[in-house]
Amino acid sequence: MSPEAVCTRAVAVVPAATPVAAEHTRGQAAVSVPREGIVTTLRALRDDPELRLDVLVDVTAVDFLGRSPRFEVVYMLRSHPHGHRLRVKAGVPAEDPSIGSVVSLWPAANWIEREVWDLFGIRFVGHPDLRRILMYESFEGHPLRKDYPLQHRQPLVPERDPIERPWYPGTRGT
């Protein structure tokens, strides 16, 4: 299926979707959807027999500082049986940086959503374990935001002896 056909079918399945025309020039299919109901939207794209976008390749975010909505959460989807791809973009405002979690659709989204939360500060509503994954727990801020202060001093973490206090399940925080 060509990128144009994938976009046409995606709009037919999800009427709220809007094709991103500039993406077709690079041979990539992309649609923009409202953040409300993102789980329902992605479920419809996954379950449609013609699209069968059954693989969540990645989830990331983009910070457009000064634009409204400020953030854009981007889902990269692929159809394993058909071989086509689709990028789904959803705008997220700075005043309420949150969007629905898709862990119920793709369990692999668990760690990817935690990464986006950690680096951009976008909350995934309904996520089973939304906590930092790359930065340490007392890290202040979200380092991939464009307004993150580069000279910001982070709290020091006390040195830990890995023999006396190993860091594996059952011993965390002791």
pLDDT in tens, 25-76: 567 889 999 999 899 999 999 999 999 999 999 999 999 999 999 999 999 9
The mean pLDDT of 119-144, rounded to a whole number, is: 90
Q: Is residue 95 part of a domain?
A: yes
Higher pLDDT, 136 or 59: 59
Under the banding of pLDDT at 50, 70 and 90, the label for residue 23 is low
Q: Is residue 155 part of a domain?
A: no
CA angle 123, 127, 133 (to 5 degrees): 70
Predicted confidence at residue 139, as pLDDT, reads 81
132-145: burial string, b at 16+ Cβ within 10 Å, e else? ebeeeeeeeebbbb
Number of domains in the chain: 1
Sequence-distant (≥ 6) Cβ neighbours of residue 128 within 8 angstroms = 101, 103, 110
The mean pLDDT of 136-146, rounded to a whole number, is: 85
Rounded to whole angstroms, how far apart are CA atoms 29 and 50?
15
Task: Report whether pLDDT(145) > 60.
Answer: yes
Q: What percent of the chain has pLDDT over 90?
A: 59
Q: Which domain holds residue 100?
A: 3-125
Task: Report whether pLDDT(158) > 80.
Answer: no
**Average pLDDT for the chain:** 88
Under the banding of pLDDT at 50, 70 and 90, the label for residue 169 is low
Rounded to whole angstroms, how far apart are CA atoms 46 and 69?
26
- CATH classification of the domain holding 101: 3.30.460.80
Q: Is residue 88 part of a domain?
A: yes
pLDDT in tens, 63-121: 999 999 999 999 999 999 999 999 999 999 999 999 999 999 999 999 999 999 999 99
Q: Is residue 150 part of a domain?
A: no
Q: Is residue 159 part of a domain?
A: no
The mean pLDDT of 11-32, rounded to a whole number, is: 79
Rounded to whole angstroms, how far apart are CA atoms 76 and 86?
6
